[in-house]
Every structure is written in structure tokens, then in C-alpha cells.
Amino acid sequence: MPSRNKKGADKVLNFIINQQPVQTDEPRGMVLLDFIRDVKCLSGTKEACREGECGACTVLIGTPRPDGSVSYKACASCLLPIGDVDGCHVVTVEGLSADDTLTLVQQSIVDHSASQCGFCTPGIVLSLTAFCLTSPDYSYEDALNALDGNICRCTGYVSIRNAARALCDRLAKTERAPEKRVAALISAGVIPAYFNAIPQSLKRLPGPSSPPCGDAVLVAGGTDLFVQKPEALRESELCFLSQRRDLDYIREEKDGLHVGGAVTIEDFRLSAEVSRHFPSLKNDLLLHSSTVLRNKATITGNIVNASPIGDMSIILLALEARLAITAKDGSRRETPLSTFYKGYKQYDLACGEIIHEIFIPFLPRGARFNFEKVSNRVYLDIAAVNTALRLTVSPDGKITDLRLSAGGVAPFPLLIGGLDRFCGTAANAATGAEIAKTVTASVKPIDDIRGTAAYKKLLLNQLVIAHFAGPSAPGTSR
């Protein structure tokens, strides 16, 4: 059974907030935002949407790595249960400037008038600080990507972008090596000196335990669960997938990629192995939620959440992914993702079963992959319709295999069947238009908040045509 706490507790949580060690028996399902503001009275972290949509509640979470260093990521504290930060370093805006002087990030915001009411500013400061800690080369592109989950309603994004650009310019000559990064950023005035001592301080904490889940609710990133039922989860028995370090791996083997069930979408997006075999995914996955969510959200959470428009599910269906599943008694089985979904929010997973690995076969010789998504806004938005295509073409330009998936047009992420008749036809725009017509005729979307059925059919038609046009089209190289 997972360890319990408060009211029948036999386990307290231990973590560090800024410089202060914290020991608490508050419920493991209490969200970090409430703990920071209501229990610790640190009001710099702002509360707004409580749904991961605005970034006002962004904090840094530092997780100890096996080599003893600490990996920092920006996360939305409104969707993050405190049980998930057991053994971690939590940094709020109060913890950035130990002596009340402005950090380099804050000074850049002041210099470029990038704050007005200031409500979004702590979140923006934390996201940019995370960028300083993680970007391989302090690039402006990375700085902008780091801000993709931070919404500002009054300043205007031009001055925020100017502040980010000036920050990148200031860091241009700063040491980049990961092992020297913390020291370099302390010297540059981005983070305070106490960060140096954090790895040792974390080592002294008891650290999280990872007992079998039993009947507890399995929390992966929590970015779906804590939007759906935060009150119920607060008092529930919880089990945290992030504590299964044995499931946090991406392995390249001879037949494909083996991805552990605890891998986050951002780690997958940035993985060298993924970039080597599926180079377009690095940009495609920028369209999934935002950095502060992808830093926690997992691939398996996206699959089991079973949203008809889940981006990862749509991508993995086209890539012919298989799931490896462990039951409560330790027995294991495998299933193709294509037969996993059975109906709206119904899937082939028994109570207590955990997806411990996703297998993604390499692209067959002559194959290309493409993902398309339409949503109301480019970032931080779920799709109206999304679709992915794996298209295999012979040297003489004929289609030999195609796997096309589509979201938003059925009760679950759909692998479109009945397309074999296009094998042997020329892989060109004319065939793409024919396939689009066939696919559009075969789906039965419903009217909902993301659009009418007719609109979704129109979108799907255009997106399938787009699979056969543009930089990813057959016969072109990316």
C-alpha cells in the first residue's frame, strides 16, 4: 500500500521550499499552490485559472538526478500535488533573490517595461529562470518556448519578448556546460548562491518511497486528473508515477524506441533518440499544451486519459506503437495501441494495471511521418481536429503502406481503416486529395464546444491534404 499521511498518517513529506526544509503531514493530494500560499504564506506565486491555462502559478521544481545534481523544471503548481514533490527543491519567486536585489531576469523585465499589473510576472520570471537553467545555448527561440504557458493580459507581449531577448544577449557568453551551469548562473545573478548547497541538502532528506500502488489512484503528471477532480483527489490515496525512476527511460534498440511509462512529454520531445528517428516531433510536440505542463504531463497519461483529441495518442497510432502493461500481480501483457480504445473513455486497461512501456517501431524504409493539428490558438490549446500520417513509398513513388490517425472525429483517437486500396497508387497531391475525400466520408464527428461536425469534417479534409503538401510531403526532405 502507498504510504499514508495526515489523519491516519504514517509518512510525512519532506522537501525544500527556497532555502527552508519543509516537513508536512498535509494530504499528499493538496496542490502545491495551496501549500505555498495558504500554509507557507508565500503569496508571490499567483492563483488564477487553477487549470494549467495561464502560468501565473509557475514554480521551479528541482529533482535530484542519480548523479547527485539537481534537474530544474518550471511547473504549474496549481495541478501539482505536494506528494509529487517529496524529496524535491521547490523554488518560488521569493526564493530567487535571497537579499532582495533583483535577479538578472527580473532586471530585464524592469528595464523593458515588461510588467504592468504584475499578476503574471512571478510566473514569467520563473519560466525564464527555468530557461536559463535548461536551454543548451541560451537561445532566444528557447526563451520564447519557455514562455508558451504564461499568459499576460495587460503588458503586451512585445515588451516581454524584448526582455527575453535582452536576457539572452546578457547570457551569450555565460558558461553552458550542464555541470557548471548552476555556478555560472549564480555568478551572472540569475539565481542566488544557496542553490549550490541544495544537492547536498536534498541528499539528507529521507526521499520518496515507491511502494506498489495497490488500490491508490495513479497520478502521472496530474495535468488531467487535477483539472477533472481536484477536491476528490485531495483526500484520496495517491500513488505517483514520477517516483518510478525505473520507468523513466528512452532506449534505442534495434527494432525501435522503448519508452518507459513515466517519461514526460517534454523529455520525450527533447530526447536525442527521438530526434534521431522522428525529427519532426520536436516541433510537433510544441503544440501539446505548454512547457510548464509538458514538464509533468506524461505520454501514458495522454493515452489513458483517452481524450478523442489526445495529441500523443494520435501520433502514436500512426507510428504503430505497442503498449506493455503490468498487472497488479506483476504479470505482463502487450497490446497494440490501435486496439486499446473501445469507446468514449473506454479502453483495454483493467483496474490496477499500469502501462510500463511504449514501444515505437522505427520508420520502415521509404516511410515519412507527418502530424497536423488545428486549435483555436497555436499554443496551450487542445485540438479541434488533429491527424498523423505514416506513409511508406517505394522507390518508384508508389504508396506501399499508409497509417492515418485522426482525433476529434470519433469518440476516441481513431486509426482510419479501409485505406489499403490506395497502396500502389502514386504518392502525390492528387492521391492525397482522394484519400482526404475517403477519410472525410468515413468519419462521424459530433457538434461540440470545439466546432460543429461539418467544421470538423472540413478540417480533417484540409489536414489530410496538408499531409501530402508542404515540407513533409512525399518526395521532399525536411
Ligand X SMILES: Cc1cc2nc3c(=O)[nH]c(=O)nc-3n(C[C@H](O)[C@H](O)[C@H](O)COP(=O)(O)OP(=O)(O)OC[C@H]3O[C@@H](n4cnc5c(N)ncnc54)[C@H](O)[C@@H]3O)c2cc1C
Task: Choose one: 119-127, 350-358, 443-451, 455-463; the region binding ligand FES (CB under 6 A).
Answer: 119-127
Sign, CA dihedral 239-241-242-245, equals: positive
- Region 98-117 residues binding ligand FES, contact defined as CB under 6 A: 115-117
Separation in Å, CA 356 to CA 188, 206, 229, 331, 335: 41, 26, 24, 12, 12
Residue 318 CB, shortest distance to ligand X, in Å, is 14
Q: Which does 230 bind (CB under 5 to 8 A by kind): ligand X, ligand FES, none?
A: none
Residue with cell 511547473: 75
Q: Which does 55 bind (CB under 5 to 8 A by kind): ligand FES, ligand X, none?
A: ligand FES
Nearer of residues 104 and 304 to ligand X, judged by Cβ: 304
- The yes or no reply on residue 154 touching ligand FES (CB under 6 A) is yes
What is the Cα–Cα distance from 404 to 384, expressed in whole angstroms?
A: 17
Contact flags string 155-174 toward ligand FES, x per CB under 6 A: x-------------------
Residue 325 CB, shortest distance to ligand FES, in Å, is 32
- DSSP states along 360-428: EEPPPTTEEEEEEEE-SSSSS---SEEEEEEEEE-TTSBEEEEEEEEESSSSS-EEE---GGGTTSB-S
* CA 112 distance to own-chain centroid: 30
Residue 286 CB, shortest distance to ligand FES, in Å, is 18
Contact flags string 35-54 toward ligand FES, x per CB under 6 A: ------------xxxx-xxx
Contact flags string 59-98 toward ligand FES, x per CB under 6 A: -----------------x-x--------------------
Q: Which does 223 bind (CB under 5 to 8 A by kind): ligand FES, ligand X, none?
A: ligand X
Cell (9 digits) for 312: 500523443
Cell (9 digits) for 159: 515588451
Residue 118 CB, shortest distance to ligand X, in Å, is 22
- The yes or no reply on residue 362 touching ligand FES (CB under 6 A) is no
Q: Which does 354 bind (CB under 5 to 8 A by kind): ligand FES, ligand X, none?
A: ligand X
Residue 32 CB, shortest distance to ligand FES, in Å, is 10
Give the binding site for ligand X (CB under 6 A): 51-53, 218-225, 227, 241, 261, 265, 288-289, 293, 296-298, 300-302, 304-305, 307, 310-311, 354-355, 380, 382
Nearer of residues 205 and 265 to ligand X, judged by Cβ: 265
What is the Cα–Cα distance from 308 to 12, expressed in whole angstroms?
A: 38
The helix-helix angle for 104-111 and 121-134 (nearest 10°) equals: 130
Nearer of residues 380 and 399 to ligand X, judged by Cβ: 380
What is the Cα–Cα distance from 55 to 151, expressed in whole angstroms?
A: 6
What is the Cα–Cα distance from 456 to 443, expressed in whole angstroms?
A: 10
Nearer of residues 272 and 350 to ligand X, judged by Cβ: 350
- DSSP states along 438-473: HHHHH-----BTTB-HHHHHHHHHHHHHHHTSGGGS
- Region 287-326 residues binding ligand FES, contact defined as CB under 6 A: none
- The yes or no reply on residue 56 touching ligand FES (CB under 6 A) is yes
E runs forming strands in 276-365: 322-326, 332-336, 341-343, 346-347, 354-361
The answer for residues whose C-beta is within 8 angstroms of residue 10's C-beta and 6 or more apart is 3, 4
Nearer of residues 87 and 222 to ligand X, judged by Cβ: 222
Residue 175 CB, shortest distance to ligand FES, in Å, is 31
Rounded to whole angstroms, the maximal C-alpha distance in the chain is 70
Residue with cell 519578448: 161
Q: Which residues contact ligand FES by CB under 6 A?
A: 47-50, 52-57, 76, 78, 115-121, 152-155
